[in-house]
Structure 1
Amino acid sequence: MNFAKYFLSFMLHLVVVQGSGPCPGVRLDIQEKHVVMDNGIVQVTLSNPDGIVTAIQYNGIDNLLEIVNQEYDRGYWDLVWDEAEKSGTKGRFDRMEATNFTVIVENDEQVELSFTRIWVPSLEGKLAPLNIDKRFTMLKCSSGFYTYAIFEHLKEWPAFNLDNTRIAFKLRKDKFHYMVIADDRQRFMPLPDDRSSERGQTLAYPEAVLLVNPVEPEFKGEVDDKYLYSSESRYNRVHGWISIDQLVGFWLITPSYEFRSAGPLKQYLTSHVGPTTLSVFHSTHYSGEDLVMKFGTNEPWKKVFGPIFIYLNSLLNRENPLKLWADAKQQMVNEIESWPYAFPASEDFPSSDQRGTVKGRLLVRDRYISDAFISVNGAFVGLAPPGDVGSWQRESKGYQFWTTTDEKGYFSIIDIRSGDYNLYSWVTGYIGDYRYDNVINITSGCEIDVGELVYEPPRDGHTLWEIGIPDRSAAEFYIPAPNPKYINRLYINHPDRFRQYGLWERYVDLYPNEDLVYTVGISDYRKDWFFAQVNRKKDNNTYQGTTWKINFKLDDVNINGTYKLRLALASVHSSLLQVRINNSEANPPLFSSGIIGKENTIARHGIHGLYWLYSIDIQGTLLVQGNNSIFLTQARSTSPFQGIMYDYIRLEGPSSISCTDQN
């Protein structure tokens, strides 16, 4: 850090109150129904023995949590689970109330508390078969507190499904009105009252509410929906709320996403109207049933979720409240640099010296572009439990560790928990996934150099044409302006144009009679390729599947060769993709995906879910010299939210050396 930057950071922290005078040390007060941790800066009250955060006292405010709510509905861990034979993602909600309280550490420097719930066979069918240990830690001179949880399923216990787990804090609606997710995603928010039936109108997707008579008239005509504020795991490090009147900030800081499911691109909820702020550790949002944790009868499992840091800050005087956000971001950096923490008292959380390191270099070779080995800056490289190529994005039971390559392709993954892993990667600009075939065994203190790794992306022939950018997102395609009746003002003229309600309905406005037609060499995917292939709404509130047409010319055709169509999908929801060549009525189609996807990305204002890649052979006899057409049909039509987001489409010519040429 240069001196000027350091000085500015130092001056900023001078105006942020972390307590005055020497820190008095951490005190613990155990009462009949409550337990209180207090370090002189923050006082946290938890129910005994349930382990629910009932009060957070800070900066002269008796309770930052919603005092109107019952104590159990203020700050709590929860999970959603179901029995193994059940399908879907809407299971049983459980606030994880503990039954036993234990003091793990109590001294002047630190207090760590444990609230446990032990599963016994008499609870079968009533509670998820898990031992749960919720930990809360307060450190001396710290402006906040930490929490983490240990889940354990023993081998002889029943099978079950785990859909979701998180911690939620519900703040006082009379104090916290300004929400911050990122530098360019922050705003004053409506009140929870505005979502009531008296003030709001529930829309087609029930989480979305049109504010028709809000308490504050400035919000009239806006759509409120918690999914508008989702964030990818890699960016979901700090978010929260500011009380403008008291100049107090409440922040959730996640220093590592090693314990979250499905890798760095997985999208999670953050903060939303309530005022509510969440740290979600596992969910099926934007993934569907593919990401449900399904445990067998004889499957032992243990996982630590967290720790995360609940950080509080305030200003000395009436300065710009956004200094609280700037300070929270700096605190996030401090927490990341301190990871893995040294203070957790559980033996299930390994310290840095008990972890390992993997380093190496990733190169890319695409022989139809160049014979050279290309070093790629910013390629994602990660360790996840052993599985198939690309399995990391559907993996949820283990830990994942990710980094990106430098400009020469070098990478170093540090602080890896002991265990067996595969090394995975994907590279923007290239389709497909890489997996290093050797299982990597991490042991305490090990340093492993895997050397130079070469990813050869799927390729059978030279590119005849392509649509889009292979980046696992549909963001580069045409995203329409929202219907003026359904807007969120935060996202007007915002880079995330896709974060608006009802964009799927704009398709029929743009294509009222005929479906999309894209002509290679003339059309521009940024303007002429709608961001999602959705259903067409009919006058009687029914829906019709759509067929998109790609027109292209071939100067010559090798009728003995095999062409390859690469379809990379950024997200799919309950869809049936069919591909036909030069005959829109061909039966059967050349390719049919079957019913795929349960990601709900379209309804939830996302731009990607899970990544799907299909490679489809097209025999040269199906093509003609001159004009050709590919027809992409999404054939299911029972909902407005069914559809496909494409990432990238490419047609390759026949291999330069085919079996026919060798005969």
Structure 2
Amino acid sequence: MVRRKVKWSWVFALLAMLIQLHFFTGVFSENNENTAFRKLLSINDRELVASRAVKLNTQNRREVIMSNGLLQVTLSSPDGEVIAIKYNGIDNVLETENKQDNRGYWDVVWYKPGDEGTYDKLEATNFRVIVADENQVEVSFSKKWNSSRHRSNVPLNVDKRYIMRRGVSGLYAYAILEREPGWPDVDMDQIRAVFKLQKDKFRYMAISDERQRIMPMPEDRVTGQPLAYPEAVLLTNPTNPELRGEVDDKYQYSLESKDNKVHGWISSDPPVGFWMITPSAEFRTSGPIKQDLTSHVGPTVLSMFTSTHYGGKDIDTKYRNGEPWKKVMGPVFVYLNKVSSKGDIYGDLWKDAKKQAWKEVESWPYHFPLSKDFPKSYQRGNVSGQLQVFDRYINSSITGAKYAYVGLAAPGDVGSWQTETKGYQFWTQSDEKGNFFIKNVREGDYNLYAWVPGVIGDYKHDINITVKAGSQFKLGAIVYRPPRYGPTLWEIGVPDRSAVEYFVPDPYPTLMNRLYTKDTMDKFRQYGLWEQYADIYRNDDLKYTVGVSDYTREWFFAHVTREIGNRTYQATTWQIMFELPYVDNPGPYTLQVALASATDSELQVRLNDANVEKPHFTTGLIGKDNAIARHGIHGLYRFYSINVPSNKLYRGNNTIYLTQSRSRSPFQGILYDYIRLESPPGRDT
């Protein structure tokens, strides 16, 4: 028998090839749903093939280190704060001059009813590994509320989770917050996650295609001149001379929830982007047009889960009588990217961040978080239907609710989704025929709510909807009949829940943000516009003549107070003048008034007599929105149908007087959405 001599070099080479092939096929099959291994769209994707397995290091009891060959994240233990992120040659993209608990953290603003608010950074007391293999690490930092420390800690059980995945250039973060039955009463104004970046590197901020720029340094705010509203500072001696004379105010960079998918900062040396990506708004509060903070001078990156911004105490979260509660905040995705120093650094990093945000949205709900409190797609249900509108004075037939906002939120009254802050909300926008599909809804009981751009009021479906895992709830055609009593005599504005269509003046040259000098749609974001009312209407208040005046040029966007000297303010009264060719005596007229915002205000309506002591109608004291001072153009929507007796009107000239009667400060005021006078029903005009 002849034995052939084996050439071991061939065998080793063959084994090496098999091992390499197994590695690559394993990576791609294991990460089939991983967006980083899809079609090579990302700037970083060319590096992903060469990335190493995810690793977890817990040898130092005070630190937990996760790495995947693309970045390294260090967490404090057992507190669960992000103290370092190493990426692209930067040892720590977070601000090393800050204390470790002031770099990457969660916090809650809370208080007992009647007390002052305080911050709780949700520092954990227990650390555990949920999973740690070559493809994913998920770690948990948790604490149970201790009633003996109830004065210093918010009464919540906390489980903060962080996930790192193979081939993914970032960190996923979410938290499970819980109140147990019988716990003390508490108010929670705000829940958020915060990241503070190296100020000497991250100078360029981007929150949308149009809203991005080189930003001031934090010390520029210290050397600047504080303005009347606390968060606003006039930059008098900035480190970048080109910014001298501008106003910096974090509220100038707010976004509506529906638009708040990605925002962040860019370092030019080395070219690195740091982004907060929010793939779903289901865990946010108050619906799709709730406004909130994004990124601002610090450089600071925020993920706002709840807040009272642009709504005040009306959207505060209150727990009473031992009410239990549990909610998953997130996951959100902290994404880091890079490019070469050639080309358009800012543009390329921003475009890539938007692509990554879209991938995350398409991947929602994520399949990889391991908490039982985060349901996967197969554990959710879908709701579909068609919303229609019938207003016989506009169209004799039922029409599709074009581009309506349709959503599921906790059962409540019409429009209650605006102030609902404890549960989950699921919103979509219908097509031009009113067809809608709300997918991946958590199990639970909901009402279906809607509103239609161009149509006043709110819709609520009269049937409660119970969503179960795998359910397909098909509503078919449902009809919204908006508030209407008679034909339109005249109207002012557009019913879009915003004051954006009205006259917004140019900013004072010494109080401007140059980012908003080109786009007329964003002029309302400039500081101090409320002061210009008294400049424009020096002697008399606003007078608007129906059929002659143009609301885009002659209806001031905010009904504010007037300063009369020494920080003393007076109420203002606006006039709407119109003619009636006749007065229909048998029935009442109707004044429909929709407000886009109100702040410590009272709207009084008088008919043809400005001096009568008792107004025909008053809202009473309403609103804590602060939308005027915080450059929001809208806050909470309020709607009033006001009965106008025919004996209060004249044939010929008439005047409606609108008084904003509260006048303690310059920031009190109303933003009108839309005003319409209807004649009595049955008469065609």
Query: Which of the five TM-score ranges fits, normalised by the shorter chain?
Result: over 0.9
Name 1:472's counterpart in structure 2. 497
Pairing partner for 1:497 from 509, 523, 530: 523
> What per-residue deviation string (whole Å, max 9, x for no partner) do you get for residues 355-379 of structure 1?
0000000100001122201113210
Q: Are 1:291 and 2:315 an aligned pair?
A: yes
Q: Distance in 1 between matches of 2:77 and 2:322?
A: 33
Q: Are 1:69 and 2:98 an aligned pair?
A: yes
> Cα gap change, 1:513/1:18 in structure 2, threshold over 3 Å: closer, same or farther?
farther
Q: Distance in 1 between matches of 2:683 and 2:486?
A: 9
Contact 2:262-2:275 within 8 A present in 1 as well: yes
Contact 2:286-2:421 within 8 A present in 1 as well: yes
Q: Distance in 2 between matches of 1:453 and 1:213?
A: 59
In the TM superposition, 1:394-543 aligns within 5 A as 394-494=419-519, 495-543=521-569
TM-score with structure 2 setting the length:
0.93
Name 1:188's counterpart in structure 2. 214
In the TM superposition, 1:101-140 aligns within 5 A as 101-140=127-166
Identical columns (%): 56
SS in 2 for 1:538: strand
Q: Distance in 2 between matches of 1:84 and 1:173?
A: 38
Shift of 1:10: 6.8
Name 2:671's counterpart in structure 1. 645
Q: Are 1:172 and 2:198 an aligned pair?
A: yes
Pairing partner for 1:28 from 48, 56, 68: 56
Contact 1:16-1:316 within 8 A present in 2 as well: no
> What per-residue deviation string (whole Å, max 9, x for no partner) do you get for residues 382-412 of structure 1?
0000000000011100000001111221111
Letter aligned with residue 319 of structure 2: F
Q: Distance in 2 between matches of 1:232 and 1:427?
A: 17
> Cα gap change, 1:294/1:20 in structure 2, threshold over 3 Å: closer, same or farther?
closer
Q: Distance in 2 between matches of 1:643 and 1:297?
A: 35
Shift of 1:539: 2.0
> Cα gap change, 1:448/1:539 in structure 2, threshold over 3 Å: closer, same or farther?
same
Pairing partner for 2:612 from 576, 581, 586: 586
Pairing partner for 1:553 from 559, 563, 579: 579
Q: Distance in 2 between matches of 1:28 and 1:471?
A: 51
SS in 2 for 1:497: helix
Shift of 1:657: 8.0
The answer for unaligned runs of 5 or more in structure 1 is: 1-8, 659-663
Name 1:608's counterpart in structure 2. 634
SS in 2 for 1:51: coil
Shift of 1:11: 7.7
> What per-residue deviation string (whole Å, max 9, x for no partner) do you get for residues 435-485 of structure 1?
001110001110010110000000000000000000000000000000111
Q: Distance in 2 between matches of 1:616 and 1:451?
A: 34
SS in 2 for 1:19: helix
Pairing partner for 2:382 from 357, 381, 385: 357
Q: Distance in 2 between matches of 1:377 and 1:411?
A: 10
SS in 2 for 1:633: strand
Name 2:298's counterpart in structure 1. 274
Shift of 1:560: 2.8
Q: Are 1:370 and 2:395 an aligned pair?
A: yes
Shift of 1:593: 0.8
Q: Distance in 2 between matches of 1:646 and 1:387?
A: 25
Contact 2:386-2:435 within 8 A present in 1 as well: yes
Letter aligned with residue 380 of structure 2: R
> What per-residue deviation string (whole Å, max 9, x for no partner) do you get for residues 526-549 of structure 1?
000000000001122210110000
Q: Distance in 1 between matches of 2:310 and 2:46?
A: 38
Shift of 1:125: 2.3
Q: Distance in 2 between matches of 1:315 and 1:428?
A: 41
Q: Distance in 1 between matches of 2:92 and 2:627?
A: 37
- Ranges of 4+ aligned residues in structure 1 off by more than 4 Å: 9-12
SS in 2 for 1:177: strand
Q: Are 1:47 and 2:47 an aligned pair?
A: no
Pairing partner for 1:261 from 285, 290, 300: 285
Shift of 1:298: 2.5
Contact 2:64-2:76 within 8 A present in 1 as well: yes
Name 2:19's counterpart in structure 1. none
SS in 2 for 1:594: coil
Contact 1:17-1:315 within 8 A present in 2 as well: no
Letter aligned with residue 623 of structure 2: G
Q: Distance in 2 between matches of 1:145 and 1:38?
A: 10
Contact 1:17-1:314 within 8 A present in 2 as well: no
Letter aligned with residue 394 of structure 1: T
Shift of 1:126: 2.1
SS in 1 for 2:192: strand
Shift of 1:18: 6.1
In the TM superposition, 1:304-383 aligns within 5 A as 304-321=328-345, 322-383=347-408
Letter aligned with residue 226 of structure 2: T
Name 2:412's counterpart in structure 1. 387
Letter aligned with residue 587 of structure 1: E
SS in 1 for 2:353: helix
Q: Distance in 2 between matches of 1:64 and 1:317?
A: 18
Q: Distance in 2 between matches of 1:379 and 1:194?
A: 43
Contact 1:17-1:313 within 8 A present in 2 as well: no
Q: Distance in 2 between matches of 1:363 and 1:78?
A: 42
Q: Distance in 2 between matches of 1:281 and 1:496?
A: 25
The worse-fitting range, judged by mean Cα deviation, of 371-380 and 270-279 is 371-380
Name 2:647's counterpart in structure 1. 621
Name 2:30's counterpart in structure 1. none
The answer for unaligned runs of 5 or more in structure 2 is: 1-37
Contact 1:151-1:303 within 8 A present in 2 as well: yes
Q: Distance in 1 between matches of 2:514 and 2:269?
A: 23
TM-score with structure 1 setting the length:
0.96
Shift of 1:318: 1.7
Name 1:236's counterpart in structure 2. 260
Contact 1:16-1:327 within 8 A present in 2 as well: no
> Cα gap change, 1:20/1:105 in structure 2, threshold over 3 Å: closer, same or farther?
closer
The worse-fitting range, judged by mean Cα deviation, of 584-593 and 618-627 is 584-593
